[in-house]
Amino acid sequence: MEIANNKTQCFKCNKKKITFTCEGCSEKFCLLDLTEHQQILNEELHHIINNYDQFKQKFNEQKPNPYDLSLIDQINQWETNSIEKIQKKAKDCREIVIKSLQTFLNDIEMKFNDLNEQIKQMQKENEFNEINLNYLKNQLLKMNQELNNPSNMSIEQDSQSFINEISIISLEKPKFNKWEQNAITVAGGNGQGQKLNQLNYPNGIFIDKNKNIFIADHANHRIVEWKRNAKEGQIIAGGNKEGNRMDQLYFPSDVIVDEQDHSIIIADSDNRRVIQWLNQKQHILIDNIHCFGLAMDKHGYLYVSDSVKNEVRRWKIGEYDNEGIIVAGGNRNGNQLSQLNSPGFIFVDYDQSVYISDQNNHRVMKWRKDAKEGKIVAGGNGKGGNLNQLSLPHRVIVDHLGQIYVADWGNHRITRWCEGKEEGEIVIGGNGFENQSNQLNYPMGLSCDDEGNLYVADWRNHRIEKLEIIL
């Protein structure tokens, strides 16, 4: 408190007195009113302390008992109800099996008793020949076969769940990322060519944890790596003209990096093979496949789209000698929810759901793990440039909020979609198809780094563009 030099008007009693200034509210009080003012502040502090103690007690009561929370109670109730449904279904099925088995055994027993009487009768009368004996043998053989194969039933599992699915939905409005609209060229951009500072129709791209960029340099038949802030790239696969030798590539369409062993996995599209490059050694993982897009999930499973068979298959790591498992499509080309039409790039999320750029259907499909059909999550309203349409979509990626980003190739733009929404929004592009920093010319590849910056393979501009996130 600061003592005033002259008598001034007290804020409380409005009398001219020697006053003191409260540094909190900056008002002047006489000594009497200042004491009262201080008492009011003390009471307010005690009130805050009391509220704090109440909150602390409430927090301590909940802390050791998290299962008392209402959301946990709801999950527990869902678990109980689901278990009860499963138990009831299992009980009903067991009763059917037991009843059927009992009926079967009763039937066998009757046949056995009847046959036993016939044998006794033959022995008693001592009248039988080869025909009678063959008959007995055949009857015994039939009963043995029936006994060894008692069930004419099997288990059929319906892929449609009879238990309601639950998921946790945040009520907090997500903060949607925004990016600078003037992109920065981080690779290529020096015209079409095969020099180390040039690209030739770049397709798929992959950004590693060090922000190095791996590019399927499509028409140069090579994979190039551009180190962060580098002026030129370095060839890490191919680059020996087009061909089918082990050291050659033929129009590679996509590339990913297995950061477990630092190997490069390439969709060697026109050679119809998926090839692995590790320490300058090449190994064919999958052969005779019209591969286009690649993805790898958190368990190390490799996913490959086949643009001719209109399907996506999955392989377990190290088990590439088999045919893999179809996880999407595989029902000829078409526009039904169970079909694909020239699937291109793919993305796999943490739940092993597969997102597919269904190019000729101008849509992005999401296939949940083990699903029999997919769901349209972007486009699907015919080819066009409206916000509810796509035009030959290429790379698709999904962020941690489930937002879907699409390289909308024919519309020269990147769009963002939220699952369940009818329309997307433009992230960048849609301003014509020249080579300005806010324009794209048939965007093909799309990726992001761990900071949320977006990278676009600007196909016909022969460059990789970086959109810096606005924090």
Local confidence pLDDT in tens for the 471 residues of the chain: 444 457 888 888 988 888 888 888 888 889 888 888 889 888 888 888 888 888 888 777 765 555 456 778 888 888 888 888 888 888 888 888 888 788 878 888 887 888 788 888 877 777 777 777 777 788 888 778 777 776 666 776 665 667 777 766 655 556 678 899 899 999 999 999 999 999 999 999 999 999 999 999 999 999 999 999 999 999 999 999 999 999 999 999 999 998 788 899 999 999 999 999 988 889 999 999 999 999 999 988 999 999 999 999 999 988 888 899 999 999 999 999 999 999 999 999 999 999 999 999 999 999 999 999 999 999 999 999 999 999 999 999 999 888 999 999 999 999 999 988 899 999 999 988 999 999 999 999 999 999 999 999 999 999 999 999 987
> What is the pLDDT, as a whole number, of residue 173?
58
d(CA 342, CA 90): 42
Contact 428, 413 (CB under 8 A): yes
> What is the pLDDT, as a whole number, of residue 64?
54
> What is the pLDDT, as a whole number, of residue 4?
43
Q: Kindly state the tokens that stand for 3.
A: 């003592």
> What is the pLDDT, as a whole number, of residue 1?
47
d(CA 55, CA 63): 12
> What is the pLDDT, as a whole number, of residue 5?
54
Contact 345, 395 (CB under 8 A): yes
Phi, psi of 282 (to 5 degrees): -110, 145
Radius of gyration of the chain (CA): 36
Sign of CA dihedral 349, 351, 353, 354: positive
* Whole-number Cα distances in Å, 76 to 72, 81, 162, 315: 6, 9, 18, 36
**Would you tell me how many other CB atoms lie within 10 Å of the CB of residue 286?**
23
Buried b / exposed e along 239-278 (16+ C-beta atoms within 10 A):
beeeeeeeebbbbbbbbbbeeeeebbbbbbbbbbbbbbbe
At residue 439, the 3 state secondary structure works out as coil
Q: Kindly state the tokens that stand for 149.
A: 């194969």
> What is the pLDDT, as a whole number, of residue 148?
77
DSSP summary character for residue 271: G
Tell me which residue of 90, 131, 139, 74 sits closest to 113, measured CA to CA. 139
Tell me which residue of 439, 416, 410, 413 sits closest to 178, measured CA to CA. 416
> What is the pLDDT, as a whole number, of residue 172?
58
CATH 3.40.140.10 fits 178-470, yes or no: no
Q: Where are the alpha helices (DSSP H) in 257-391?
A: none
413-418: strand order across its sheet:
393-398, 403-408, 413-418, 425-429
d(CA 333, CA 290): 14
Contact 257, 214 (CB under 8 A): yes
d(CA 229, CA 1): 58
d(CA 148, CA 108): 12
User: What's the half-sphere exposure (Cβ side, CA atoms, 13 Å) at 28?
Assistant: 15
